[in-house]
Structure 1
């Protein structure tokens, strides 16, 4: 009888330890997830620099309230597909194709590809955006252009950022120069010319 009570107590202790372990793992994962579910200050800084002073049809810039995910544009950054980027070049561009090739090293391309693969939609926080940027919960609006943006991918002082509208998907390679993000290369995944 005494042995049976000891076995029951040991089993109870093991169950308590397992439950504690499961809840601990869950709490750590939830904390990690909540950290990744927001843009960093540097990512907001890039968005603000990108849209600084921009207006569309005389009004503030309106963007969809969540970042857009398009894993299709990984094709430009895997296996050093520089040719795919340069054949779709747009404006503005401040560096040559050769300079772009030296900037987009194999290591940088791998990091960009990985960031695209693990990306997910993130809700934007208006309090971190400049006053000329408005958020909209609907992408369809006949009165205004609602842009979609990607989550900025920042690697040191280099970034990749995408802006989508009804008639274009532009991908920008940006560099931090004099403490401000500036576009150094633009290319289009899609462009509709009228």
Structure 2
């Protein structure tokens, strides 16, 4: 029970942070200072970019008004977030799945693997979070990994991988986000 309470509290704090970040700044000096601090801290929130890729690394976009990359974080090749400094980072992704709009036989099921990986500056890759699930005929639902906190090194590359991209619903609610905790 304590575990679920902790997860719920982390989710609420993360959602409050994301909603505060996406809100328009006002003229108040307190909120302007908060907005300035958030733009200086390493933080990123990206939206799903639909492609014809079948498997592998998911592509993201920062063209929407609610997606951004700040604080020296680098967004590379529409796939990778490169961290500007070592520290504790919250990492999360959310993907909406849909088998209503694709030609999937009613007797078929797909094993889907959704994961967030990190490659350190030495080239070592590890999985931060992953979930495997069965996707069946005429289903529509979302999967979320995180937010979870990890200590990550400067220059590490964080990315999301999934098989069977054709089952991703190109929803604006698909996201990939990272936020560094202040030192």
Q: TM-score, normalised by structure 1?
A: 0.24
Which has more helix, going by share of residues? 1
Greater radius of gyration (CA): 1
Between 1 and 2, higher relative CO (CA 8 Å, sep ≥ 6) is seen in 2
Structure-2-length-normalised TM-score? 0.25
